[in-house]
Amino acid sequence: MSEFHDLGEISLNQDDQAWGNLGYWRDETEYSAACRALALLLGDAAELDANSIVMDAGFGCGDQLLLWRDHYKVAQIFGINFSKSQTEFAKARLQKSDPGPGQNPAPSALQYGDATDPRAWAFEYPGGKPDRVVALDCAYHFPGRTDFWKLSARYLQSEGKVTVTDFMLAKDHQPSSLNHRLLLWMLTRSQIPAGNMVTEEKYIVQMQQAGFEHINILDISERVMPGFGKWWRGYRDGPGGQQMRWRSRLKYGVTARFLDWAWRKNVLRYCLISGTKP
């Protein structure tokens, strides 16, 4: 059976990369570079380093795992992804790729599963529980994100940190507006549970209720939401886009229009969020 999260995004990438996020667009003109920039923003905010034991929820095709391993040189990586094809692909890449001269690859354990399901978190954790939980551009897809906060808080070491990039409702968004009805329609098409779209105030309360403190929210919408569409329209009309299957062209075209609309109408905000377990 085909999966919603599959290997389709590979066709947007360059140089054997396989990112699948919305990107962080400063001067980047290529999709892979913008995706890597968003991952670096998250990795820096998570303060990943050689002591980090990382749990990555929604690791896509594995590019970010290579970044945690080879750029931040983290100690250990665990990962959960609700895509069988991506999990197999990422496992193979991690096994095949060389972390660099004189480097020992960080041990990793990856499995298919839902990051809101306690069974998916049941690893052996031989070096101890994670002190970092990260979710790059995917927490809005989780079925009931509050369960993800609870599991993160349960499995994190004391003083551990959860860091995600995620959508939330814009401050002045009106739940009774036509824009809201359009948003609900778009969310259904994109497999995003409507209940995950909450205001910043509610987002903070949900994290606090799960046990997090020192919650930090940085609005990065301006560098994420308009950038994807601008890039896509150029790519679509070039050789890469012309060779793409019509279904993929439709999918990315709809994503681009949705992001442009949600940005222009100030319906959604895209943020970098972190919180610490006491």
Ligand X SMILES: C[S@@+](CC[C@H](N)C(=O)[O-])C[C@H]1O[C@@H](n2cnc3c(N)ncnc32)[C@H](O)[C@@H]1O
Which CB sits closer to ligand X, 104 or 152? 152
To the nearest whole angstrom, how small is the minimum distance from the Cβ of residue 38 to ligand X?
7
To the nearest whole angstrom, how small is the minimum distance from the Cβ of residue 178 to ligand X?
27
According to DSSP, the β-strands at 268-276 and 213-219 are antiparallel
Which CB sits closer to ligand X, 99 or 143? 143
To the nearest whole angstrom, how small is the minimum distance from the Cβ of residue 20 to ligand X?
4
To the nearest whole angstrom, how small is the minimum distance from the Cβ of residue 278 to ligand X?
26
Contact 93, 61 (CB under 8 A): yes
Residue nearest to ligand X (CB): 60
Phi, psi of 59 (to 5 degrees): -80, 5
Which CB sits closer to ligand X, 60 or 130? 60
**Chain contacts with ligand X (rule: CB under 6 A):** 5, 19-21, 35, 57-60, 64, 80-83, 86, 114-116, 136-138, 141-143
Gap between the Cα atoms of 210 and 153, Å rounded:
7
Residue holding tokens 């610490």?
A: 276
Contact 66, 32 (CB under 8 A): no
According to DSSP, the β-strands at 161-169 and 213-219 are unpaired
Gap between the Cα atoms of 254 and 259, Å rounded:
9
Nearest to 267 by CA among 206, 221, 201: 221
Contact 163, 132 (CB under 8 A): yes
Which CB sits closer to ligand X, 14 or 242? 14
Which CB sits closer to ligand X, 213 or 254? 254
To the nearest whole angstrom, how small is the minimum distance from the Cβ of residue 137 to ligand X?
5
To the nearest whole angstrom, how small is the minimum distance from the Cβ of residue 266 to ligand X?
22
Q: At what angle do helices 221-236 and 31-45 cross, to 10 degrees?
A: 160
Which CB sits closer to ligand X, 60 or 229? 60
